[in-house]
Amino acid sequence: MEIAAYQEMIAPLPCTAIAAILFRRYLLMALTSCLFWNTFGLSAAMDPKPNILLFLADDLGIGDIGCYGNNTIRTPNIDRLAREGVKLTQHIAAAPLCTPSRAAFLTGRYPIRSGKWHQGVNCESFNDHCHHPLSHGFDYFYGMPFTLLNNCQENKPPELDVALQAKLWLYSQIIIVTVLTLAAGKLTGLISIRWKIIACFTLVGSLFFISWYSSYGFVQYWNCILMRNHDVTEQPMRLERTASLMLKEAVSFIKRNRHGPFLLFVSFLHVHTPLFTTAKFLGKSHHGLYGDNVEEMDWMVGKILDSLDKQGLKNHTFTYFASDHGGHLEAQDGSTQLGGWNGIYKGGKGMGGWEGGIRVPGIFRWPGVLPAGTVIDEPTSLMDIYPTVVHLAGGILPQDRVIDGRNLVPLLQGRAQKSEHEFLFHYCGSYLHAVRWHQKDSGAIWKAHYVTPVFHPPGAGACYGKGICPCFGEGVTHHDPPLLFDLSRDPSEAKPLSADTEPLFDTVIRKIGRATEEHRRTLTPVPEQLSVYNIMWKPWLQPCCGTFPFCWCDKEGDSTQSL
């Protein structure tokens, strides 16, 4: 679970986690559609059954790689993808309805996933695995069911210490006050209750308190785990070999499935804190530990691309690279910055609609099909990967729901000059913060901010000291009328427009308002999986390879080899 995202007594999941979860959910939907893989063909101009390779970084800023302007962090392999393919300059990680990587493998016949799942595992018991990848279309899973935390690495300060202490104090006070009230009522005769009931309540309350605390007190052993299918193979993870294990899994998969077609989804642990980096890359970059971690990820990308080349699959593989959201500006260790750089764009991870948190790298390569060295300055979204993958697989999109993504192949090939997106809605948790309107006849990209986070300290560009910006409450500002920007003229969102400075102000606000109302009518409420009850009151749902709560195992041994 992304503990750093749980603010205000576990508020609805912020945008930091939105894009990745929704991206993975769309991929799951694609698995079902891809059952049509061998039934429906593509156009004669394209490989009828291309392999599909998807790379997804975690918290990578758009300004952190060379092909987007960085000249101090070395990313030759990602840059090679851009030179040999298509680079998107308005690729958006925001997604309608926030529901957030690490690696997934899928063949045309045998769906397989490996890497960080980030959607949990269980519903009612520690082994029902209702949220497990194998319950959602995959035939194989290897990786993390949760996410990286500082707790996963030795000698790192545990996350949420302050928040944990506050919650522990609150719950302890509730239990103590309740017990004292019942005891006082019994002694004064105001409450007719047996001492056995009071003792029972005290015992149950204490057990609840202890079990809830243990879910955080033993984070390293409960959350920092690796699974292979339904079995826990490392608990806790040994981060010094995790990158090698993931890379070995990907390279091995490509070799085994070289006759394809296959889909390989590599969703990295990099560059999420705690930024564990192997010794080979430590101290090699000009940007400290964060830069080292980015360069290690780029090396892993290169190794996987080399595997494609070795198997003769480069020209038969549709390759994609992106990040789940922008750099995490609040990630710091004292004065050391541990988060990414979002270039000229304002804000970062978890800040609702600010561009720095949602504009991410987007690179596609398919030699012989997509024109090399192309740059497309049109609004696109991570949501587009689902319909694009379904199209490439020859599948059919579901007709019983609204599909927010669009098939990108015509745009990438140059057969279409404009993005099909007219409106994109930017959420923070379940709260709509901003709306983007692509006015195709003029080329303007309008964005209206209805809600923005309150930066701390005042004048800063992030919510320093809070870990991440809140989505609602006193930590946000509501704007009426909304803040309006024309991103085609002001991509940094430095100068909000008004009726005095923009003649179309009222027209644009009304247009976006009507689109927002129409969008809300298409939404269907669903049970909140990341509720206070599910997150904080059910620690026994955590997978365990030992005797609960003493969970420990190492089934990987020394299986890794240098790659």
Give 78-109 pLDDT, tens digit per residue. Answer: 999 999 999 999 999 954 333 332 233 333 33
Q: Which residue has the higher pLDDT, 156 or 339?
A: 339
Average pLDDT over residues 352-371: 96
Backbone angles phi, psi at 82, to 5 degrees: -65, -40
Q: Indicate if the pLDDT at residue 35 is higher than 50.
A: no
Distances (CA, A) of 221 to 477, 507, 525: 39, 55, 34
Quote the CA–CA distance of 539 and 549 in Å, as a whole number: 10
For residue 223, give the nearest of 117, 113, 330, 103 by alpha carbon.
117
For residue 397, give the nearest of 14, 22, 8, 32 by alpha carbon.
32
How many Cβ atoms from other residues are within 10 Å of residue 353's Cβ?
Answer: 31
Highest mean pLDDT: which range of 82-86, 121-125, 429-433, 468-472 = 82-86
Please report the pLDDT score of residue 260 as a whole number: 79
Asked if 385 and 27 touch (Cβ cutoff 8 Å), the reply is yes
Q: Indicate if the pLDDT at residue 491 is higher than 90.
A: yes
| Residue position matching structure tokens 């692509």 | 438
Q: Indicate if the pLDDT at residue 155 is higher than 80.
A: no
Quote the CA–CA distance of 512 and 507 in Å, as a whole number: 9
Backbone angles phi, psi at 435, to 5 degrees: -135, 135
**β 476-486/86-92 pair status:** unpaired
Quote the CA–CA distance of 99 and 26 in Å, as a whole number: 11
Q: Helix %, strand %, coil % for the chain, to 5?
A: 35, 20, 45
Backbone angles phi, psi at 68, to 5 degrees: -110, 20
End-to-end CA distance of the chain: 30
DSSP state of 534: H
Q: Indicate if the pLDDT at residue 128 is higher than 50.
A: yes
Residue type, 467: G
HSE-CB of 340 using CA atoms within 13 angstroms: 37
Categorize the per-residue pLDDT at 115 as very low, low, confident or very high, splitting at 50, 70 and 90.
Answer: low
Q: Tens digits of per-residue pLDDT, 287-314? A: 999 999 999 999 999 999 999 999 999 9
Q: Indicate if the pLDDT at residue 445 is higher than 60.
A: yes
Distances (CA, A) of 101 to 31, 146, 148, 554: 16, 9, 10, 23
Residue-wise burial string across 194-211, b where 16 or more C-beta atoms lie within 10 A, e elsewhere? eeeebeeebeebeeeeee
Asked if 475 and 469 touch (Cβ cutoff 8 Å), the reply is yes
| Residue position matching structure tokens 């308002």 | 513
Categorize the per-residue pLDDT at 1 as very low, low, confident or very high, splitting at 50, 70 and 90.
Answer: very low
Tokens of 491: 């991509």
Poorest-pLDDT segment among 22-31, 125-134, 273-282, 310-319: 22-31
- Which strand (E) or helix (H) includes residue 239? helix 239-256
Distances (CA, A) of 346 to 57, 396, 455: 20, 38, 12
Distances (CA, A) of 495 to 213, 359, 487: 46, 18, 10
Average pLDDT over residues 41-64: 80
Please report the pLDDT score of residue 173 as a whole number: 72
Reduced to 3 states (helix: H, G, I; strand: E, B; else coil), residue 123 is coil
For all residues of the chain together, what is the average pLDDT?
82
Tokens of 332: 């710091």
With 0-12 CB in 10 A as exposed, 13-18 as middle and 19+ as buried, what is 124? Answer: exposed
For residue 359, give the nearest of 382, 375, 337 by alpha carbon.
382
Q: Residue 274, preceding bond cis, omega within 30 degrees?
A: yes
- Which residues belong to the active site? 98, 118
Asked if 410 and 391 touch (Cβ cutoff 8 Å), the reply is no
Q: Which residue has the higher pLDDT, 33 or 365?
A: 365
Give me Rg for the CA atoms of the chain: 24
Poorest-pLDDT segment among 31-45, 389-403, 480-494, 509-523: 31-45
Quote the CA–CA distance of 237 and 226 in Å, as a whole number: 6
Reduced to 3 states (helix: H, G, I; strand: E, B; else coil), residue 130 is coil
Categorize the per-residue pLDDT at 163 as very low, low, confident or very high, splitting at 50, 70 and 90.
Answer: very low
Backbone angles phi, psi at 450, to 5 degrees: -85, -30
Give 3's contacts (C-beta < 8 A, 6+ positions apart): 149, 159, 160, 216, 219, 223
How much of the chain exceeds pLDDT 70, in percent?
78
Please report the pLDDT score of residue 14 as a whole number: 37
Q: Indicate if the pLDDT at residue 240 is higher than 60.
A: yes
Categorize the per-residue pLDDT at 541 as very low, low, confident or very high, splitting at 50, 70 and 90.
Answer: confident
Please report the pLDDT score of residue 41 as a whole number: 38
Q: Indicate if the pLDDT at residue 383 is higher than 70.
A: yes
Quote the CA–CA distance of 235 and 221 in Å, as a whole number: 6
Q: Indicate if the pLDDT at residue 545 is higher than 80.
A: yes
Highest mean pLDDT: which range of 43-57, 84-98, 132-146, 343-357 = 343-357
Asked if 64 and 356 touch (Cβ cutoff 8 Å), the reply is no
pTM above 0.85, yes or no: no
Categorize the per-residue pLDDT at 190 as very low, low, confident or very high, splitting at 50, 70 and 90.
Answer: confident
How many Cβ atoms from other residues are within 10 Å of residue 490's Cβ?
Answer: 14
For residue 537, give the nearest of 5, 167, 147 by alpha carbon.
167
Q: Indicate if the pLDDT at residue 466 is higher than 50.
A: yes
Average pLDDT over residues 334-345: 91
Highest mean pLDDT: which range of 367-376, 395-404, 460-469 = 367-376
**Dihedral sign (CA 398, 402, 405, 406):** positive
